[in-house]
Structure 1
Amino acid sequence: MKHKTIGVLGGMGPWATLDFFEKILRLTPAKTDQEHLRVIIDNNPKIPDRSPAIVGTGEDPTPAMVASARTLQQAGADIIVIPCNTAHYFYERVQNAVSIPVLHIMEEVVTTAREEVPSARVLGILATAAAVSSGLYARACARKGIEVVNPDPASQQVVNRAIYAVKGGQVGPEITAGLKKVADGLVGRGAQALVLGCTELPFVLKPQDVPVPLLDSNQILARAAVRFATGVPLPTPT
């Protein structure tokens, strides 16, 4: 079977795009260069910040995102992925601008939660304040009969600081310690699994840091992209 080409609408942010591509490589069942997938990456960190745009205080990123998506399609991509959760606030406008499928990160995460953690009826969401307040995960979860629990305002500030620290290349144990406290708080409020709902967060919070299953949205999106490109279902991680 001929492999399909993955187009990555990246740069939101660059480190998350790097992490996504590494996960594509690790997930691809390849033993030679030629067995790997063709991946076209438009790493455009000049796309305006999504969070201020969502709350009405920043420039609309949609024109830049649409331009990137069209560039990827013209370059030969068969599918587009956006390794940024908050950017999915603008998903419909991007999908409507191209004639190839754009995977939806929230839908992939929630589907994975139902398949891999079927007993989890409540998910704790670690994401940007804009992603949380706009209900991106809440709506996707509701369609699958799953409830969400979000950080309280003080804890959300901790999450936001961690996200922007990673964007600035600043990671360290104090960042992880703060996130672990937030995660523990969500578990204490009933979360039976946690979602890394920002693609910067895998750099600073690992499965061993939390007492419940941790769903990495970047990993899940990469797995869905590889599955689409190869036509081969990937094994469920253990």
Structure 2
Amino acid sequence: MHATNPLPCPRTSPSDRPDRNAGDHRHSGRHGPGGHRRLLRQAGVVDPGTQRPGPPQDGHLVRPHHPDRTAALLGDGPDPTPWLLDGSRVLREAGATVIAIPCNTAHAFVPRIVDRVGLPIVHMIGEVARHLTTLSPQVRTAGLLATTGTVRAGLYQEWLDRSGIDLVLPDADSQDAEVMAGIRAVKAGLRDDATTALLARAARRLAGRGAQVIIAGCTEIPLGLPADAVEVPLVDPALTLARALVRRTRDSTGGEAPPHPVSLRG
């Protein structure tokens, strides 16, 4: 990973800042629907040892106008790096001690910010690759359902190749007419049978080409594709990230509740 030359960061309005007087928080930044809330809920689900119900208390940084990451990667939109950097600064000043980004596509911009945010970043795609190496029977081929930006950036290709796992991708027609159509439907609030059918067809095509697992490589996909709609295991990167956060914070606190992890919804 590397840092690029510094970019100007947008000013942050007072409404963007977490409430510093609201007690002990897990500070989280949200830049889109679904993924951030699921991450916090899953962190609570996979941490049954905590004394509190659900995840620790949560302070939100809401950024509804964060630039679209796929558009940026395809050259059709502004670079979101300044927003990621500015959100990291706000949350660091609010007491965050670690960053998690529950957006697959946003990880294309992690190399630009990793040396500049002043906090460790738990890399979701790296955690998925590590998780796949622990499964039995051994996973040799995985399928990926993700945004076109994530696919073209080669994010999963790079990490899975390091782990000796082959990756199969939808063809161009399936990517556009099934995967992206399904993602857009979920973002529009259409989590119905038609949306599930789109994503399930794309998943079946990948399984038919040898995929032993399907990676739901966009945080909207598990919202429209139930695990039982896929004939092979469905890997949810947000759940994998939540488990990694719990594991990391438990290790650093001797089993106590996690102190101030941060989620930047990319």
1:180 maps to 200
**Partners of 1:143 and 1:79 in 2: how far apart?**
25
> Compared with structure 1, are the counterparts of its residues 122 and 39 closer, same or farther at alpha carbon in structure 2 (3 Å cutoff)?
same
1:107 maps to 126
1:41 maps to 60
The Cα shift of 1:40 comes to 4.0
Larger radius of gyration: 2
Deviation per CA, 1:164-205: give whole Å up to 9, x if none: 221222210011011111111001111111100001111111
Asked whether the equivalents of residues 181 and 198 of structure 2 are also in contact (C-alpha less than 8 Å), the reply is no
One-letter amino acid of the counterpart of residue 200, structure 1: E
**Partners of 1:103 and 1:155 in 2: how far apart?**
31
TM-score by length of 1: 0.89
**Partners of 1:165 and 1:217 in 2: how far apart?**
20
Where do 1:159-178 residues align within 5 Å?
159-178=179-198
1:235 maps to none
The Cα shift of 1:162 comes to 1.2
> Compared with structure 1, are the counterparts of its residues 84 and 106 closer, same or farther at alpha carbon in structure 2 (3 Å cutoff)?
same
Asked whether the equivalents of residues 171 and 204 of structure 1 are also in contact (C-alpha less than 8 Å), the reply is yes
**Partners of 1:33 and 1:223 in 2: how far apart?**
17
One-letter amino acid of the counterpart of residue 193, structure 1: V
**Partners of 1:171 and 1:35 in 2: how far apart?**
25
Q: Secondary structure at the match of 2:128?
A: helix
The Cα shift of 1:9 comes to 3.6
One-letter amino acid of the counterpart of residue 139, structure 2: A
Q: Secondary structure at the match of 1:151?
A: coil
TM-score by length of 2: 0.80
Where do 1:108-123 residues align within 5 Å?
108-123=127-142
Larger relative contact order (CA 8 Å, sep ≥ 6):
2
Asked whether the equivalents of residues 124 and 241 of structure 2 are also in contact (C-alpha less than 8 Å), the reply is yes
1:130 maps to 149
Where do 1:175-214 residues align within 5 Å?
175-214=195-234
> Compared with structure 1, are the counterparts of its residues 77 and 120 closer, same or farther at alpha carbon in structure 2 (3 Å cutoff)?
same
Structure 1 stretches (4+) deviating beyond 4 angstroms? 4-7
User: Of Structure 1 and Structure 2, which has the larger fraction of its residues in helix?
Assistant: 1
One-letter amino acid of the counterpart of residue 207, structure 2: V
Asked whether the equivalents of residues 104 and 217 of structure 2 are also in contact (C-alpha less than 8 Å), the reply is yes
Asked whether the equivalents of residues 83 and 199 of structure 1 are also in contact (C-alpha less than 8 Å), the reply is yes
The Cα shift of 1:73 comes to 1.1
One-letter amino acid of the counterpart of residue 214, structure 1: L
Deviation per CA, 1:121-169: give whole Å up to 9, x if none: 0110000011011111000001111110000111111111111221222
Uncovered stretches (5+) of structure 2, i.e. residues with no partner: 1-23, 256-266
The Cα shift of 1:223 comes to 0.9
Q: Secondary structure at the match of 2:114?
A: helix
Asked whether the equivalents of residues 6 and 80 of structure 1 are also in contact (C-alpha less than 8 Å), the reply is no
2:87 maps to 68
Q: Once the two structures are aligned, what percentage of the paired residues are identical?
A: 37
Q: Secondary structure at the match of 1:97?
A: coil
The Cα shift of 1:35 comes to 8.8
Query: Number of residues paired by the alignment?
Result: 228
One-letter amino acid of the counterpart of residue 47, structure 1: H
